[in-house]
Structure 1
Amino acid sequence: MTDVARFSLNQETLRQWSLPELAAGCETAGVRGVGLWRAPVQEYGVEAAAKLMRAAGLTVTSLCRGGFFTAFPGPERTAALDDNRRAIDEAAALGTDTLVLVSGGLPAGSRDLAGARERIADALAELAPYARERGVRLAIEPLHPMYAADRCVVSTLAQALELAERFDAADVGVVVDTYHLWWDDTVADGIARAGAGGRIAAFQLADWVTPLPEGVLLGRGQLGDGSVNFRWFCERVDAAGYDGPVEVEIFNPRLWERDGTEVLAETLRRFREVL
C-alpha cells in the first residue's frame, strides 16, 4: 500500500487549492488519484472538472458526498433523494464508480436511531437501481459516534454492513475510514466480513489527535501525529482482498494555512512512513 500508484489525495486535505491547482500539483508530484467533493466541482462545472482531471492524468477515486437520508417522508426527504440522484450523475460524469454516503443524523425531536437506519435502507433501495444504471456504487461511510445525533446514525462498520448487505455488493459497499473506526475493537471482524463479501468500496486515512484541535469535524490529524495504527489497518484491509486506492482525507485548518506543495510532499512522506 505504500506504492504511490495507490495513493489518492482527497481534495479536502488541500482545501486551499483550486481544482486547477489540485490537478497541477498532483501531476507534478506523481499522484495519480484524487477524491473530489461536490461543492467545488459544481462551482467549477462538472464536465469541466472531469476534463481537467483527465488532462492531468488523474483518476477520480471517489466523490463525496451523497446521503442525509434520515428525514421523515415529506418534502425534505424528497429533496434529499433528488439531490442524491444528482450526485450519482455527477460521479458518473467524473468517471468515478464510488459515491461516498454520509447517511444523516436524527431528525429534529427524534431519538429513534433504529428507525433512522431503516429510512436509510429505504433510500438505498430507491437509489441503487438508478446508481447501477450509471455505473456508480453507493458507499456507506460509518462515522465516529460523536456524529450520530446530527450527521450520521451509522457509527460502526458492522452497522454499515447490516445496511449494505441487504443489496448486491456491486451496488452498495462500505467505506473503511481510520479516523472514524480506529477505536472500535470489532473493526477487524468487520473488515474481514466486508472483504469476504466484496463490500470495501473505499479506504481512507486520517489520524486521531487529542485534544481535537478544531472540534469533531475539522480535527483530523496528519498521518503519524496521533493514535491510529495505520499499519494494523492496512494489513487487515489488504488481507481482506482490497487492492484499490488508499485515500488520504484530512480536514485540518492548520494544513490549509500552509503551502499546498509542502503539505502534499509531507503527506506523501508520512504515507510511506506510517504504512
Structure 2
Amino acid sequence: MNRLSVNQQTIRQWSLAELVAGCSDAGVANVGLWREPVTEHGLARTARLVRSAGLSVTSLCRGGFFTAAEPAARTAALADNRAAIEQAAELGAPVLVLVSGGLADRPHDLAGARLRVAEALAELGPYAGERGVRLAVEPLHPMFCSDRCVVNTLRQARELVAPLPAEQVGVVVDTYHCWWDPQVYEEIALLGAAGRIALFQAADWVTPLPEGVLVGRGQLGDGHVPLRELLAATDAAGYRGPVEVEIFSEDLWRRPGGEVLRELLGRYRDHLLERPERDGTG
C-alpha cells in the first residue's frame, strides 16, 4: 500500500486541504497534484501543507500543449511549461506529466504537430533536469488525437523521447490510455530496458463509455483493463515508483470524498496488489 498515490482529480470534490487531510488520516502516503488547485491554494502554502502532513507529491499535472505553430503561442507554451517545472520543483514532485496537445491552429498538420512536440521536449529537458524534475510524456488514447494529444501509443512516446537523456524525459504508462494496444507489454518492456518509465497511472475503461469520454473513466475493477497484469509487466520492466490512481469520473465526483477514498483503497487492494500465494493449508 505504500506505493499508492491518489491523484487529485480522482476526488476533485475535495479541496486541496481536504485531500491532504483525508489521505493522511487513511494512511495514504502519496498524492498527485494539479496546477490549477495548487495555484489557487498558493504554491508555497501547498508545499508546506503537504510536507507537514508527511505526504509525498508523486507528480504534478500538467504541462505540455506544445503543438501550436504560431510563434507567439509557442513562446507562451514554453514559458508556461518552464513555470510548471518550477512549480514541480517547489512541491518536491519528481515528475511533471505532459499532455502533448492536439492539432491546434493547423487542423490537418499531424506530422508537424508531432515535430513541434519533439522540439519542445529538446528545449525543456535540460531546464527540467537542472531543477530535479523529470518530464513525463503521457500518450493518450487515439480518440483524443485531434484536440488533446497527438502522441497516442507507448511506442510513439518511446521513440519521441529516445534522443533525450532518460533522467530528463520519460514516459507515463496510463492503463486507461494504453490497455488496448496490441504491443503494450512489449513496449512496457522496452521502456523499462531504456529506463524510461517515469510514472504508472491507473484507471479502468467501462462500456458503454459515458457521454463526455474525458470524464468517463471507470473505478478500478469496473471495466476491461487488466490492471494487475499491466502493473506486473511494468514492475517486471524495472519500475519501482508509485501507483497513481487518476480517475476522471462524474459519478465519483458526485459522491462524498471520504466514501470514494475508502472504496478506492479496497479496489486498489483487490485489483492491483499481487494476489497472495496459497500456502496449501486450505
Which AA in structure 1 matches 2:65? Answer: F
Return structure 1 stretches of 4+ with deviation > 3 angstroms: none
Conserved 8 A contact 1:214-1:252: no
Conserved 8 A contact 2:69-2:105: no
Counterpart in the other structure of 2:108? 111
Which AA in structure 2 matches 1:92? Answer: A
Counterpart in the other structure of 2:277? none
What residue ranges of structure 1 are gaps of 5+ in the alignment? Answer: none
Conserved 8 A contact 1:69-1:81: yes
Q: Give the superposition deviation at 1:112.
A: 2.2
Distance 2:81 2:146 in 1: 21
Paired residues for 1:169-184 under 5 Å: 169-184=166-181
Are 1:82 and 2:118 matched, yes or no? no
What residue ranges of structure 2 are gaps of 5+ in the alignment? Answer: 273-282
Distance 2:258 2:181 in 1: 34
Counterpart in the other structure of 2:162? 165
Distance 1:11 1:145 in 2: 24
Distance 1:108 1:119 in 2: 13
Which AA in structure 2 matches 1:26? Answer: C
Which AA in structure 1 matches 2:48? Answer: K
State the structure with more CA Rg.
2
Distance 2:213 2:178 in 1: 14
Paired residues for 1:1-275 under 5 Å: 4-275=1-272
Distance 1:110 1:257 in 2: 35
Which AA in structure 2 matches 1:107? Answer: A
Q: Give the superposition deviation at 1:110.
A: 2.9
Conserved 8 A contact 1:143-1:180: yes
Q: Give the superposition deviation at 1:211.
A: 1.4
Conserved 8 A contact 2:157-2:171: yes
Conserved 8 A contact 2:61-2:97: yes
3-state SS of paired residue (1:204):
strand
The count of aligned residue pairs is 272
Distance 2:218 2:2 in 1: 23
Q: Give the superposition deviation at 1:214.
A: 3.6
Q: Give the superposition deviation at 1:47.
A: 0.7
CA offsets 1:24-71 (integer angstroms, 9 cap, x no match):
000000000000000000000011001000011110000000000011
Which AA in structure 2 matches 1:14? Answer: I
For structure 1, which segment, 30-39 or 111-120, has the greater mean C-alpha deviation from structure 2 after superposition?
111-120
Q: Give the superposition deviation at 1:73.
A: 4.1
CA RMSD of aligned residues (A): 0.8
Distance 1:111 1:192 in 2: 33
Q: Give me the identity figure in percent.
A: 65
TM-score by length of 2: 0.95
Which AA in structure 2 matches 1:9? Answer: V
Which AA in structure 2 matches 1:137? Answer: R
